[in-house]
Structure 1
Amino acid sequence: MSMDLHDHAEHALALMRTAGFEAARAEASRLHGTEVNLAHNEPSLLRSTTVEKLALAGIVDGRMAATELSDLGDDAVRAAIGALFTDARSSPQDGANALSAGQQAELLQGPQEADEALLADKVAELLEFRTRETPAMMLEEGFVAHQRLEARLLSSGGSSIGCRLGWHRLSLAGTAKIGLRTSSFNFVDGNSNDLRALPAQAHAGIEPMLRDTVRQVDAQRIAAKFVGDVVLTPPAVASLLGWLQGQLADMHLIAGSSLYRERVGELIAAPLLSLKSRFDAPGIAAISADGFVAPPVELLRAGRLINLTPSLYGSRKTGLKQVPIAAGGWEVPAGDTPLADLLGGVRHGALVGRLSMGNPAPNGDFSGVIKNSFLLEGGSVGPALREVMVSGNIARMLLDVQAVSRERIDTGVWNLPWLRIGGMHFS
């Protein structure tokens, strides 16, 4: 690492001690990106960007404050630390405030250098596939990129964590149009360590997104309310599991509103469902937001709750064991049911591309719009749906999983199958 991320973090830490902080943490990072953009079905731009950042947190008299700055110059850092000390002195006193201590790690993973020719080739592959297979699709914007993150985190408690993380990212967004008829907006975003391993459209669910969007040009309402099954696509499964992860984390644990705080070891989901980390996934560093090394962790094992995930602060606030987790990198193991059979088992229901639930009630009740979705009748995928609501209880949905597909979509942040869940109310 060149003045050098370690030197930036060390210098900031020394200045924070001098300013009067009793405990301090400094993380200097540099994110370098090389990307080939596309716009309106054409390659548009090759560019490189570099973003530097210094993240600081400090405690004085049990009072904590944090800040980030993009100017790593000495004058800017000194000014930011002075303002941070003032903010900390005026913050509420809280005995649970604490910072990372004793953490040691050097993380190196993923492709470290950009290959501009490879990025351009993958954009060309995407555009050729669109022209050949889904010509009605308008790719309004997107890119194929290589990103490299270098970081050094130091704390007054002796933590020193270094990171050199490289990965590729693919992102597309757009709509389909046939005549005057237009589909709803759709998008996909995912990471990969090896762009050469698969055709461009085979990464992160790009091909099904393009094909489904074209089919969504002609959408219809349902004729009447009914109770049936949903088949959640991986993006919709991510929403379901995101709600569960929120229930296991600081906000709900501290507030006492978690449905699961006292249920570790109990069956809270169907035995078909497991959920575990893979913090070495493309684009993911095994470091928690509060500066701890994040070892592998299971949340669900055959439906049974294995861990809650309080941070250091959440642990000190609740008395629960701290469980560090990374910013992403989760997977549901593949099931035994081929996707075709999973869909074929639905008599009446919907294939749901995205689940918009808002904020479910404290008991998990929700009502939301299903987006990028299709009617399922007699085991066959029917027309696209519009203005269709689904309601139920999200905690109950976890228990009502009837089938898990063999197929999965890997975006780096998630690696997920399709799920079939019964007993949903459509209107």
Structure 2
Amino acid sequence: MINSELGSRCIKYMAEKGADKSQYTLVIHDKEEINFNETGIVLFRSTNHSEITLRAIKANKMSKVSMTNLEEDFIRERISDLMDMCDASEVDENNDIAPYQNSEEFKDGEDKADVEKIHRVICKFLRDCKEQYPSLKINESYVCFNKVEEHIVNSNGVDFKTSTGEYEINIFYAAKEGDKSSSFNAVVICVNELPEDLLECSNVRNKLEESIEQLSCTGINGKFNGNMIITPECLLDFIRSYNNAFLSDMPLITKTSILVDKLNERVASEKLTISCNANHPDISSKAFVTKDGFKAENVTYIEKGILKSYLLSQYGAKKTGLKLNPTEHIIMVEPGEKSLEEMIKGTDRGIILGRFSGGEPASNGDFSGVAKNSYYIEAGEIKFPLKETMISGNLYDIFNSIDDISKEVLNLGYASLPWIKVNGITISGKE
């Protein structure tokens, strides 16, 4: 339960200690979690975690502290420490807090977990997997309900409260038969309402069946440039890397981003439209308020290939002099017109990339790594699951070389994405 007055008192305490500007953030996280593996349910636990983060600015010097002890005497001691840290910090005129906005309260999802249902659907899932997929090995997995309450107050009069509740499904698995085993993989989905049948939830069944197919992987000979169909989960990783490398604070402040001064210019295929939909109705993992204390907006930052917005924090916007569009990185990509089946049939030679194993791309977007849980395509047909296959390319180039985007979309609860087909990828095998 949020103590509505504590935030105001903390703002007052920081002002009394010399803060020119300050922000208080309280997060209360209640979790009901059941862990399981192929042997059955192994753990049930309820946890509660409350944390306050205080941020103070004095003479353009900023510092912050976090604490889990919510007793006011302790908080006041930490405020004294906070102001000492401010005095020792560097001056930066770009340090700031959110301006006044009308106070609001936001609510989404349920208030309480249906623990009996969590138990029931896990037991059914394990029975069905044992009967239908005996070679499948379920590693340590869990289903949990997350109830999160947040209160943000600042010295400019900001006062936002949020309450969200959602179920999180994490299934970690591989297949094993004799001395053969498939590569480890995972399904991570968030939903407002827990389904009765986990196998039929989102793409769970397809992913598990693919793992069994991948018991018999085949390598390819040599190296070639071909097409790559990127699965939604893998696409999300590429988009996050793209955002970090080109559109976020540090690369724009240091001007290492290749998209500096590219607003309202074409930076990707005209087929590509990407949004940060912080509170879209189809998304269960909603974000109503940013960490900086702004009411979150839904922002389309690439529209038909045109860069419409950077993804900056308040500090990054002030430091670069660019417009702030406050949002959170809950990614949605607009679907295309072709089916995934049509995209495969139109592929002369290439792969379906299920998972990418490699380091973060270079500042210019270059990447290379191993294609995991992936398939080889030739003459419009999926031939076999792949092993020991390397891929390399460039993030900027692949978003500019999109052949097709599927009309099918996978909603993960924290993102909604289609499959995309790109060209110009270097693919190499060891056999």
Shift of 1:19: 2.0
1:404 aligns with 2:405: yes
Matches within 5 A, 1:20-419: 20-103=18-101, 104-196=103-195, 199-246=197-244, 247-280=246-279, 281-326=283-328, 328-419=329-420
2:42 and 2:87 map into 1 onto residues whose CA distance is: 49
Amino acid at match of 2:286: I
Tell me the CA shift for residue 204 of structure 1: 4.4
The CA distance in 2 between the partners of 1:360 and 1:191, in whole Å, is: 27
CA distance change for structure 1 residues 79 and 212 in 2, over 3 Å: closer, same or farther?
Answer: farther
CA distance in 1: counterparts of 2:343 and 2:122, whole angstroms: 33
Contact 1:329 1:412 (8 Å CA) reproduced: no
Secondary structure of the 1:290 match is coil
Identify if the C-alpha distance between structure 1 residues 41 and 10 changes in structure 2 by more than 3 Å, giving closer, same or farther. farther
How many residues of Structure 1 are paired with residues of Structure 2 in the alignment? 423
Amino acid at match of 2:77: A
* Cα deviation code 1:283-331 (max 9, x no counterpart): 22122121111111101212221111221111110110111112x3221
Partner Cα separation in structure 2 for residue 55 and residue 378 of structure 1: 57
- Residues in 2 aligned to 1:245 and 1:85: alpha-carbon distance in whole angstroms: 34
1:26, 1:154 within 8 Å by CA — same for their partners in 2? yes
Counterpart contact for 1:229–1:422, Cα < 8 Å: yes
CA distance in 2, matches of 1:242, 1:102: 30
- The one-letter code of the counterpart of 2:115 is E
Do 1:229 and 1:346's aligned partners in 2 also have CA atoms closer than 8 Å? yes
Q: Secondary structure at the match of 2:140?
A: strand
SS of the counterpart of 1:153? Answer: strand
Specify the code of the residue in structure 2 equivalent to 1:7. E
- What SS does structure 2 have at the residue aligned with 1:86? helix
| Partner secondary structure for residue 360 of structure 2 | coil
Structure 1 runs not aligned, ≥5 long: none
Counterpart of 2:139 in 1: which secondary structure?
strand
Distance in structure 1 (CA, Å) of the matches to 2:197 and 2:26: 36
Deviation (angstroms), 1:70: 1.4
TM-aligned CA distance change 1:293 to 1:146, over 3 Å: same
- SS of the aligned residue for 2:208 comes to helix
Alpha-carbon distance in structure 2 between the residues aligned to 1:29 and 1:183: 40
Kindly state the Cα deviation for residue 123 of structure 1 after the two structures are TM-superposed: 1.2
**Residues 193 and 337 of structure 1: is their aligned pair in 2 closer, same or farther, counting only changes over 3 Å?**
same
Secondary structure in structure 2 of the residue aligned to 1:170? strand
Distance in 1, Cα, partners of 2:390 & 2:135: 27
Deviations along 1:219-242, one digit per CA (max 9) or x if unpaired, are 233211111111101111112211
Which amino acid is the alignment partner of residue 409 of structure 1?
L
Distance 1:147 1:362, change over 3 A: closer
Letter in 2 for 1:285: A
- Distance of 2:4 and 2:243 partners within structure 1: 33
Q: Which runs of 5+ in 2 are unaligned?
A: none
Task: Report the CA distance shift for 1:141/1:78 in structure 2 as closer, same or farther (over 3 A).
Answer: same
The verdict on how the C-alpha distance between 1:17 and 1:204 changes in structure 2, with shifts beyond 3 A counting, is farther
Matching residue's letter, 1:364: G
Counterpart secondary structure, 2:124 = helix
Distance 1:203 1:102, change over 3 A: farther
Letter of the aligned partner of 1:274 in structure 2?
T
Where 1:79 maps in the other structure, the secondary structure is: helix
C-alpha spacing 1:258/1:202, structure 2 compared with 1 (3 Å): farther
Show CA shifts across 1:230-259 (max 9, x none): 110111111221122221111111111122
3-state DSSP of counterpart to 1:209: helix
TM-score by length of 1: 0.94
Q: Which runs of 4+ in 1 moved over 4 A?
A: none
d(CA) in 2 for partners of 1:230 and 1:5? 52
Q: Measure the CA separation in 2 of the matches of 1:271 and 1:350.
A: 23
Q: Give the drift of 1:350.
A: 1.0
Amino acid at match of 2:117: L
Specify the SS of the correspondent of 1:220. Answer: coil
Give yes or no for contact 1:188–1:206 (8 Å, CA) kept in 2.
Answer: yes
Letter in structure 1 aligned against 2:392 = S
Q: What is the CA distance between 1:109 and its match in structure 2?
A: 0.8
Q: How many angstroms does 1:135 deviate by?
A: 2.2
SS in 1 for 2:383: strand
Residue type of the alignment partner of 2:345: G
- Structure 1 residue 83, shift from structure 2 partner: 2.1
The worse-fitting range, judged by mean Cα deviation, of 249-258 and 381-390 is: 381-390
User: Within 2, Cα distance between the matches of 1:384 and 1:325?
Assistant: 39
Q: Distance in 2 between matches of 1:361 and 1:277?
A: 23
Partners of 2:147 and 2:163 in 1: how far apart? Answer: 7
- Code of the residue aligned with 1:292 in structure 2: it is F
SS at match of 1:244: helix
Contact 1:203 1:410 in 2 (8 A): no
Measure how far apart 1:10 and its partner are. 2.4
Instruction: Report percent identity of matched pairs.
Output: 27
Secondary structure, in 3 states, of the residue corresponding to 1:355? Answer: strand
The residue type paired with residue 365 of structure 2 is G
Aligned-partner Cα distance in 2 for 1:282–1:332: 16
| Higher mean displacement: 149-158 or 242-251 | 242-251
